[in-house]
Amino acid sequence: MSEEDLFAAERKEDLEEAERLRNELRHHEYLYYVQDAPEITDAEYDRMMVRLRELEAKYPDTVPADSPTQRVGGKVAPEFGEVKHLTPLLSLGNAFSAEELQAFDERVRSGLPAGAELEYVVEPKIDGLACSLIYENGRLVRAATRGDGTVGENVTANVRTIRSIPLVLKVPEGEEVPELLDVRGEVYMPRHAFMRLNEARAERGESEFANPRNAAAGSLRQLDPAVTAARSLSFFAYLVGDGAQDKHSESMAMLTRYGFKVSEGYKLVQNIVEAIDYIKAFATTRNALAYDTDGAVIKVNAVYQQRILGATGKDPRWAIAYKFPPEQAETTLEDIDWRVGRTGVLTPTAVLTPVKLSGSVISRATLHNEDFIREKDIRIGDRVIINKAGEIIPEVLRVVLEKRTGDEQPVVIPANCPECGWEVARKGSEAAIRCTNPHCPALGREGLVHFVSREAMNIDGCGPSVINQLLDKGLVRDAADLYSLTREELLTMDRMGAKSADNLLQALEASKENELDKLLFALGIRHVGAKVARILASEFGTVDRLLQAETEELAAIKDIGDKIAESVVTWFSVPANIDLLERFRQDGLKMEFATREEQTNHPFFGKTLVFTGTLPTLGRAEAKTMAQDVGAKVSGSVSRKTDYVIAGAEAGSKLEKAQQLGVTVLDEAQFLSIMEEK
Using the contact rule CB under 6 A, the part of the chain among 120-128, 190-198, 388-396, 525-533 near ligand IVH is 120-128
183: contact with ligand IVH by CB under 6 A? no
β-strand partners of 255: none
CB of 599 to ligand IVH, least distance (A): 48
Helices (H), 512-572: 516-522, 530-540, 543-548, 551-555, 562-572
User: Which backbone phi and psi does 131 adopt, to 5 degrees?
Assistant: -145, 145
Q: Which of 149, 138, 126, 139 is nearest to 233 (CA)?
A: 126
Among 239, 350, 389, 490, binds ligand IVH (CB under 6 A): 239
Q: What angle do CA 268, 273, 275 make, to 5 degrees?
A: 35
> Which letter does DSSP use for residue 613 in this model?
S
CB of 274 to ligand IVH, least distance (A): 17
Is 518 annotated in the active site? no
Q: Which residues of 68-93 are buried (b: 16+ CB within 10 A; e: fewer)?
A: bbbbbbbeebeebeebebeebbbbbb
Length of the chain: 678
Residue nearest to ligand IVH (CB): 130
Among 46, 56, 105, 186, binds ligand IVH (CB under 6 A): 186
CB of 229 to ligand IVH, least distance (A): 22
State how beta strands 433-435 and 345-357 pair. Answer: antiparallel
Q: What is the Cα–Cα distance from 281 to 289, expressed in whole angstroms? A: 13
Among 125, 191, 388, 607, binds ligand IVH (CB under 6 A): 125
Using the contact rule CB under 6 A, the part of the chain among 48-56, 119-127, 443-451, 596-604 near ligand IVH is 119-127
- Show the binding pattern over residues 197-236: x = contacts ligand IVH (CB under 6 A), - = does not: ----------------------------------------
3-class DSSP assignment, residue 336: strand
3-class DSSP assignment, residue 224: coil
Residue 319 or residue 508: which is nearer to ligand IVH going by CB?
Answer: 319
Q: How far is CA 123 from the centre of its chain?
A: 25
122, 287, 321, 449 from 281: Cα distances, Å: 12, 12, 16, 40
Of 12, 75, 84, 125, the active-site residue reads: 125
Touching ligand IVH, residues 126-165 (CB under 6 A): 126, 130, 146
Contacts of 556 (CB under 8 A, 6+ apart): none
190: contact with ligand IVH by CB under 6 A? no
**CB neighbour class for 519 (10 Å; exposed up to 12, middle 13-18, buried from 19):** buried
- Show the binding pattern over residues 321-360: x = contacts ligand IVH (CB under 6 A), - = does not: x---------------------------------------
What distance, in Å, lies between the first and last C-alpha atoms of the chain? 42
Q: Are 466 and 496 in contact (CB under 8 A)?
A: yes
Residue 125 or residue 624: which is nearer to ligand IVH going by CB?
Answer: 125
CB of 606 to ligand IVH, least distance (A): 50
Residue 126 or residue 516: which is nearer to ligand IVH going by CB?
Answer: 126
Touching ligand IVH, residues 376-415 (CB under 6 A): none
HSE, CB side, 13 Å, CA atoms: give it for residue 473: 16
Among 29, 46, 56, 123, binds ligand IVH (CB under 6 A): 123
Residue 101 or residue 623: which is nearer to ligand IVH going by CB?
Answer: 101
How many residues bind ligand IVH (CB under 6 A)? The answer is: 16
319: contact with ligand IVH by CB under 6 A? yes
Catalytic residues: 125
Binding site for ligand IVH (CB under 6 A): 90-92, 123, 125-126, 130, 146, 186, 238-239, 263, 297, 316, 319, 321
